[in-house]
A and B are shown apart, each in its own frame.
Chain A
């Protein structure tokens, strides 16, 4: 018998059509799980399968769309999958069709949303899919069809499980809305990049809409994909016709519309909701004479996030370099303190500056890098849609971060060293990724461009052995310091050009090195960047806060016909402060005294930038701690009192707190580390099972403003984790929040464990469902109605401790 992959090579493959609608017609009740029908109504299920084989389907999928361990016990799941496979096999035997016949294990979404949007952990999702896949393999399916996926992260989990648990061909199909995106925002380009990178055998589109409405998405797949494209549309949309529900595309129209797309290049076709064996029969007949289009390589160098793809080619790609502790004292401090918000802020600020990709490097010798990098990647992809460049020399950290990354990452980096290639290429092959390849080897960095190109060739050859195509490598020919070697920049520029011209590969440079040791570094760096772009550089790892770099970038685009009507350049220019302006506040600054009351006003009004600028100004003449004690805290107190008296409302309280925080950042930057007098440690968490953390974050912000050393454990935190942090820090106070009645038991359990392991700790609780009486009943020390009350209580405890 022909293998499925052989059939796919030069035939149009027909899949089956809808299942749910037909089961409902056969009597499946609302809310009843269709997968159980494999056991209870095997004949009815087989009959539907057989009708599809009779209609001409090569592949019929098992009735296992929702067969997973979240819905069924292990024993029942095994029985369902065993029987589901047998039902398709029996149908194949009974069918009169003479075509090749294959059984696909059908896998749909779990129905649960993955973290951070929902509560299902990524690895738990992988484990759920893995169970289903193992059973499918055990009972002998020929291939796997992952379909109707509406979230890129869950799709990754399913494909990863399929790849890890089987050698079978895997088809992956997603459900796109009328906006041409997945429910969680991914474009076709993002999905193609990720799924191809991970090695799906065919990818495509099903469900949601009729064939015609899906056409733009199908076209995007055909334009971008180097693997066969699959299409299983609905029979249009359900409409009520004469009091009965019917889909609005007829079998004949469906056949016409899908056949058009086969002619465009689609290679696997079937139907989804509302389609029946009649639709497939019509399609098979109608498209009989369509010649399968060859599958062509697209050679697109691309990375992706959960929403979009970034392609390397004509326009320069900016990779923000700021998430990196090298040479940054404040960043190192934040890393050691586990202050993720600091890292997130760097990410968001760089995004606002206009970078396209964020480099993520959190390596410090004394830290657990695999854990830190994975946490940083997960936290960043929850707050920014930019693709990430995972930057580490630790292969374990690299693998864990790549695994959790929601998209196709940029991998920084591999080199021409044998050991490096042996560590990095298997990861790139398994998880997908665009690998930054440094042109250095065991002998170091060659002086000449030609020798660097030679290393690049060797890297390309070695990558090929792992099945990594040259489009998935981007070379960094290494910018060296021009003040140390006058021809350093020239050789690098020549290497950029040679790699682009002779190898046809893209290049990326960490441009900042070039200016090391020179005054006005940014002038040199930006000029070098422009020269490199002129030689064909595709991307740069750079500092987006350096105005010269952004000027060079926008100017290059305007001069290279990459910026229509110079619109971006003009917008950039208008967003820049006037060159004559200084860092002093925009309003005329009077005496220090008036600047001080101005600072109070800025904090009270919640004017963030102004509060920061005024603080910076005041720091020239005033003692930092005096500014805190005499200006910022009194302003906060005034707002806090207003809030307690209900003359000030929550939004203003928060805006003031943020302005105060901006002022504090200036003060912190001035004070030597550890110089600020801090109040005691405070551990804060939203309890297990609860994901509502807005209230908790408000408490955190205010506590920080009032000088507490807050350790924020986040949301959905297990009791053990709270205890661990309180014991480790010997924190005198812990704050727990819960919004829902269902999570109050988790709060009670956390209190119980804290009492057992950290009897010294005062426990403050709050949240919508709590009352003072309830707080008392679960054994907490204090209930805080709002954030200000939490601050007052914490100050009281802190004073008592100090006394």
Chain B
């Protein structure tokens, strides 16, 4: 595959327990529940669910991983990709609306800001799950299986790999995702990751 592909999804179902977990709460009082409902209502349909991705041939040698567009040394990634012949590199974002809401409420309601932050994390993880499930099904039909996604910054995989990933995925143009000088992504509720593709053993 030569090109970067783009997918846009409908909103995946909301997992409120996950939101509370990201917000640092194990249970929610009636007041908290009401606040979460108000936040979800305010977000409404403003989030987008966009992924861009590209598949690369893969070569492993010990802890060194040749991703086709760059080489990295990372025992953790090498373990995750062991036995894979290629990898899908993807970037996913839920857009700028949630960042805007977090900023808005940072000024007037930190509780809402916290909840929007947690909602954003839950949303982008749900998007990644959706994309990865779809990829697994697609590859499964070809007799291949997919590995769990692995992101720059996990374990020993350097965050600086972000630069190379942005270089090959054309994220700003494809899904409106950009990388700052300090390797911070904007919109902040975004994920980049590598998914190994291997034989179904």
Contacts and interface: CB of A to CB of B under 8 A. Distances in A.
Interface of A: 24, 30-31, 108-109, 111-113, 116-120, 148, 150-151, 175, 177-179, 183-185, 207, 237-238, 240, 244-245, 340-341, 344-345, 348, 379, 382-385, 605-607, 649-652, 654-655, 657-658, 689-691, 693-694, 697-698, 701, 740, 742-743
A245 B3 contact: yes
B32 interface: yes
Contacts of A345: 107-108
Contact of B95 (A183, A655, A657, A691): A183
Nearest to B95: A183
Given A117-B187, A652-B25, A740-B184, 5 more contacts: A30-B68, A112-B180, A150-B176, A240-B1, A651-B20
Nearest to B115: A651
Nearest to B36: A651
A605 B31 contact: yes
Contacts of B28: 651
Q: What band does the interface of chain B fall in when counting residues whose beta carbon is under 8 Å from A?
A: 35 or more
B12 interface: no
Contacts of B24: 649-651
B111 interface: yes
Contacts of A179: 48
Contact of A117 (B115, B175, B186): B186
A113 B107 contact: no
Contacts of B56: 30
B96 A607 contact: no
B117 A694 contact: yes
Given A655-B35, A689-B182, A694-B117, A178 B96 contact: no
A108 to B, nearest CB: 8
A385 B97 CA distance: 11
B2 A119 contact: no
A30 B89 CA distance: 13
B183 A207 contact: no
Contact of A119 (B27, B115, B173, B182): B182
Contact of A651 (B70, B114, B168, B176): B114
A30 B69 contact: yes
Contacts of A607: 31
A649 B178 contact: no
B66 to A, nearest CB: 13
B52 to A, nearest CB: 11
Contacts of B96: 117, 183-185
B130 interface: no
Contacts of A117: 96, 99-100, 186-187
Closest 6 CB pairs of A and B: A183-B176, A649-B25, A654-B111, A118-B186, A119-B180, A113-B186
B55 to A, nearest CB: 10
Given A111-B172, A651-B24, A697 B187 contact: no
A12 to B, nearest CB: 27
B179 interface: yes
Given A652-B32, A740-B184, A341 B107 contact: yes
Given A651-B23, A742-B183, A245 B107 contact: no
A24 B3 CA distance: 10
Contacts of B114: 650-651, 654, 694, 698
Given A117-B96, A694-B113, A694-B117, A184 B176 contact: yes
Contacts of B32: 606, 651-652, 655
Contact of B110 (A30, A108, A657): A657
Interface in B1-46: 1-3, 5-6, 8, 20, 23-29, 31-32, 35
B51 interface: no
B111 A606 contact: yes
A685 to B, nearest CB: 14
Nearest to A178: B8
14 contacts: A30-B56, A109-B173, A113-B187, A179-B48, A244-B2, A341-B108, A348-B104, A348-B107, A382-B104, A649-B23, A649-B25, A650-B25, A691-B184, A740-B182
A366 B175 CA distance: 46
Contacts of B69: 30-31
A330 to B, nearest CB: 16
A184 B175 CA distance: 11
Nearest to B180: A119
Contacts of B180: 112-113, 118-120
A742 B179 CA distance: 14
A31 B181 contact: no
A351 to B, nearest CB: 10
B64 interface: no
Contacts of B99: 117
Contact of A238 (B3, B68, B117, B181): B3
Interface in B65-108: 68-70, 95-97, 99-100, 102-104, 106-108
Q: Which of A184, A607, A657 has the most CB of B within 10 A?
A: A184
Contact of B168 (A30, A238, A340, A691): A30
B115 A111 contact: no
Nearest to B32: A651
Interface string B175-201: 110111111101110000000000000
A108 B170 CA distance: 13
Q: Which of B48, B104, B167, B178 has the most CB of A within 10 A?
A: B178
Contact of B178 (A30, A111, A185, A742): A111
B25 A694 contact: no
B22 to A, nearest CB: 10
B174 to A, nearest CB: 10
Contacts of B182: 119, 689-690, 740, 742-743
A655 B167 contact: no
A689 B99 CA distance: 17
A777 to B, nearest CB: 21
Nearest to A111: B172
A652 B175 CA distance: 35
Contacts of A109: 172-173
B39 to A, nearest CB: 11
Given A31-B69, A112-B178, A245 B110 contact: no
B25 to A, nearest CB: 4
A169 B8 CA distance: 36
A113 B28 CA distance: 36
Contact of B70 (A31, A151, A207, A701): A31
Nearest to B97: A185
A116 B164 CA distance: 24
B123 to A, nearest CB: 16
A383 B70 contact: no
A341 B104 CA distance: 10
Contacts of B179: 111-112
A150 B173 CA distance: 8
B112 to A, nearest CB: 9
Contacts of B184: 118-119, 691, 740
A348 B176 contact: no
B54 to A, nearest CB: 8
Contact of B2 (A24, A184, A348, A383): A24
Q: Which of B104, B113, B164, B173 has the most CB of A within 10 A?
A: B173
B137 interface: no
